[in-house]
Amino acid sequence: METTHNMRLTAFLIALLLVSGCAPQFYPGGKRLHTPAISEHLLTTSDQVDLPVRVWPAETGKPKAVIIALHGFNDYSRAFEKPAIWWSKMGLTIYAYDQRGFGAAPHSGYWSSADTMAADLGDAIKATHTLHPGIPLYILGSSIGGAVILTALGKQDTTSNEHVSGVILVGPAVWGGHAMNPILSFLLWLGAHTVPANHLTDEGLRIKPSDNLPMLRALGRDPLIIKSSRTDTIYGLTELMGAALNSAPNLDRPTLVLGAANDELVPSEAHQSLLRLLETEHNAVTYPNGWHMLLRDLQAKIVWRDILSWIRNRHAPLPSGDGREPKNSK
């Protein structure tokens, strides 16, 4: 009897929290009425929002290929500085922009929406193609950047895909939807709808995102790196990851999927779920000594070389020796 009473009391308290709680505070984009444009400093989206851009032009003159790079959660465009400098010496031009809610972009620390981030990528693709017509264009996403790519290019009504020569997913964040524990998913939903402004950190979790400790310490000193996240932002992140998995079967561009055996942020089961869902031609590589931040790990240059090689010829073996022949999963 007492157990039944406690269960009813718990249910009542949860209901009370839901009624009295706050709604998530998101900043989705506006109507897409304008032509997007990109420069060496800004991506102006079709809803007239300016997102900071970093560009590393090919040092060999006309680029052999162009990369649009999307950073991970709580990160920003500087994440690609070292690989981009190296790739630029090899004849590639790299564009990276701060996604909404991150870095120096508007509403830092607040979530926009999966659809907004996907639409921003579509704008970046159109604007970059206009600047570099006839040049192969590749889209690279690290962590949630990969989730944004899957969500954007997996939309069946998109017109951006025709400009994209290939997709590179580096430690893609796809731990959401059916890949996430349903209890954890519910608790995040509950937190986002009752205490959305509560901030969470990774302190005490003992998660190691990379073996490059000097790099991690530098990130801790970088004022543009977000150190704690709102509950509703984390909830929005899981919604994005779920949307990415749902969109994966619709991706129709050649794809390179790079994973890490030591990734402590995205479970290997989620990574395997993504590979099972991909129907497009793809290469899948798992680096035995890699961590979640593959492009900035101590062995990062191995990954840089593999990406360059795949862009040059996706049918050739990768320099690391870990690559497999392109395949269709179904």
- pLDDT of the residue at 311: 98
- Can you give the pLDDT at residue 191? 45
313 Cβ partners below 8 Å, 6+ apart? Answer: none
**pLDDT attached to residue 220:** 93
Do 110 and 25 form a contact (C-beta atoms < 8 A)? Answer: yes
Q: What is the pLDDT of residue 201?
A: 54
Walk along the chain (330 residues) and give the pLDDT tens digit of each residue: 445 544 554 444 344 344 445 677 788 999 999 999 999 999 999 999 999 999 999 998 899 999 999 999 999 999 999 999 999 999 999 999 999 999 999 999 999 999 999 999 999 999 999 999 999 999 999 999 999 999 999 875 666 688 999 999 999 999 755 555 554 554 444 444 444 445 455 554 578 999 999 999 999 999 999 998 888 888 888 889 989 999 999 999 999 999 999 999 888 888 899 999 999 999 999 999 999 999 999 999 999 999 999 999 999 999 998 644 445 544
* Residue 211 Ramachandran class (φ > 0 left, ψ -120 to 50 alpha, else beta): alpha
Sequence letter at residue 275:
L
**CA 229 to CA 155: how far, in whole Å?**
28
Q: Count of CB atoms within 10 A of residue 178's CB?
A: 11
Please tell me the distance from the alpha carbon of residue 243 to that of residue 114, in angstroms, as a whole number.
Answer: 8
Structure tokens at 63: 């680029």
Q: Is 213 exposed, middle or buried (0-12, 13-18, 19+ CB in 10 A)?
A: exposed
Which domains does the chain possess? 22-312 (3.40.50.1820)
**Interatomic CA distance for residues 95 and 106, integer angstroms:** 19
* Adjacent-strand bridge partners of 259: 286
Q: Which residues contact 326 (CB under 8 A, 6 or more apart)?
A: 254, 281, 282, 283, 314, 315
Q: Looking at residue 323, what is its pLDDT?
A: 45
CA–CA gap between residue 268 and residue 26 (Å, rounded): 30
Chain centroid to CA 138: 15
